[in-house]
Amino acid sequence: MKKHSWHVNIEDYAPLIGDEVLERILHKAHRLRDLRVLHLSSTFYGGGVAEMLSSATLLARSLGIKADWRLIQGSPDFFNVTKKIHNALQGAKINLTELKKEVYEEIVVQNALRMDLTGYDVVVIHDPQPLPLIRHFRRTCPWMWRCHIDLSQPNPEIWEYLRGFINEYDAVILSLPEYAQRIAPPQVSIMPAINPFSLKNAEMGAAEIKDRLEHYGIPDDLPIVVQVSRFDHWKDPEGVIQAFNLARTEVDATLVLLGNVATDDPEGQEVFESLLSRKEERIIILTAEDSALVNALQRRAAVVMQKSLREGFGLTVTEAMWKGAAVVGGNCGGIRHQIEEGINGFLAASVETAAQCLIQLLRDPGRRGEIGRRARETVRQRFLMSRLIEQYLDLFSAFEATFSLNQQRLSASGLPVTVSKP
């Protein structure tokens, strides 16, 4: 299989997805070639959205789709408000005062004033930060809102407020079918996916793994338990430490919490600092922007945890499963769609259950191997970037009638023009 590469073509996926699927994707992309798509989000790194967009836009480009990715800018005030909105969408209680709404909407207006969006055939707006942009453009193409957040229990008041913006979109893309809401636009679900050839996910030799761990002073004399996550209370790093402490009364291990702080997440630093007092010889808390370290840890770990309390999808789970790790995930959101209890991983709703899973897995390398092999196969079948790109192509095709230039091109090329409703 192809090793790490900065430039991935859909053909590189052939050994993983087969020639038939490859041909199907190439055919769908050919019909939409030169389509100009804009993805707009709020950070270039530090979370699943950025992780996916960096690979998905390049893969789309290699298929002839002119995919761009732009960011909105915001002040700390703005990102404070949008993180509150994010939390409320995941069910937290917040008081969104008129002043906060004003900050949110005004910064978006300022972004709109600086932005020229002419020439696109489709605009995809990611998450709540840039959501109100739609109010400030004369629309000449479909606009889609792509929400990556766990919408299983959104705060009703915030939802009501955001719904006004959401209803103006032509389509809404959610991570899971059960996140569907009462809104005007048609809703589709597209589960996230990983790039198996990225620095973070590609094969890695034992020497490279050892080198990365040594570089950060991570001991590998005992089995390693890892959680890789933005420093965010929803990821429950506190719960991971509690579960680890319970488990190590019975088995010896080292815990590594690797985290980062996204530029659009003002709470990260505070969560990181709140954890530092829990550091000790066998509890390592690290922050580093290092994809190779994520790769090394997920490969070297005896158990990977993702004990989230809410999780839109949980790319870290996919990444670890791809590497054949035994994963213990929170019983929520997208983790439930990836892990089949006891088959390719474990789901743990409480600290106690998580500790039990840890003990069981740490004691049984054979079981870990079995679980990990099935986990990798699950990702191969369902969570590779090739599948995500195909779903985007299908969605865009459903709006084909609105791509006027594209229509002419298709007619001129003699291909049939099919128009289907989303």
Q: Which amino acid is at 206?
A: A
**Residues 340, 344: Cα–Cα separation, whole Å:** 6
- Residue 346 sits in the site that holds ligand UDP (CB under 6 A): no
Other Cβ atoms less than 10 A from the Cβ of 229: the count is: 24
Ranges within 31-70 binding ligand UDP (CB under 6 A): 47-49, 51
Q: Which of 213, 315, 321, 385 binds ligand UDP (CB under 6 A)?
A: 315
DSSP β-bridge partners for residue 328: 305, 346
- 35 vs 49, beta carbon nearer ligand UDP: 49
Return the structure tokens found at 322: 């791809």
The answer to whether residues 408 and 157 touch, using CB atoms and an 8 Å cutoff, is no
DSSP-assigned states of every residue in 208-259: HHHHHHHHTT---SS-EEEEEEES-GGG-HHHHHHHHHHHTTTS--EEEEEE
- Residue 121 sits in the site that holds ligand UDP (CB under 6 A): no
Q: How far is the CB of 185 from ligand UDP (least distance, A)?
A: 23
Residue 316 CB burial class (10 angstroms; 0-12, 13-18, ≥19) = buried
Site string for ligand UDP, 172-211 (x = CB under 6 A): ----------------------------x-----------
- Residue 237 sits in the site that holds ligand UDP (CB under 6 A): no
**Residues 332, 119: Cα–Cα separation, whole Å:** 40
Beta strands 36-41; 66-71: pairing state: parallel
Q: How far is the CB of 19 from ligand UDP (least distance, A)?
A: 29
- 22 vs 131, beta carbon nearer ligand UDP: 131
Residue in 401, 396, 402 with CA at minimum distance from that of residue 28 = 396
Q: Which stretch binds ligand UDP (CB under 6 A): 127-135, 178-186, 223-231, 268-276?
A: 223-231
Q: What is the largest CA-CA distance in the chain?
A: 71
- 103 vs 339, beta carbon nearer ligand UDP: 339
- Residue 259 sits in the site that holds ligand UDP (CB under 6 A): yes
- 113 vs 276, beta carbon nearer ligand UDP: 276
In the DSSP assignment, the letter for residue 285 is: E
Binding-residue total with ligand UDP (CB under 6 A): 18
Q: What's the N-to-C CA distance of the chain in angstroms?
A: 36
Q: Which of 12, 127, 236, 319 binds ligand UDP (CB under 6 A)?
A: 319
- 155 vs 298, beta carbon nearer ligand UDP: 298
DSSP-assigned states of every residue in 328-366: EEESSTTHHHH--BTTTBEEESSHHHHHHHHHHHHH-HH
Site string for ligand UDP, 260-289 (x = CB under 6 A): x-----------------------------
- Residue 358 sits in the site that holds ligand UDP (CB under 6 A): no
Binding site for ligand UDP (CB under 6 A): 47-49, 51, 200, 228-230, 258-260, 291, 294, 313-316, 319
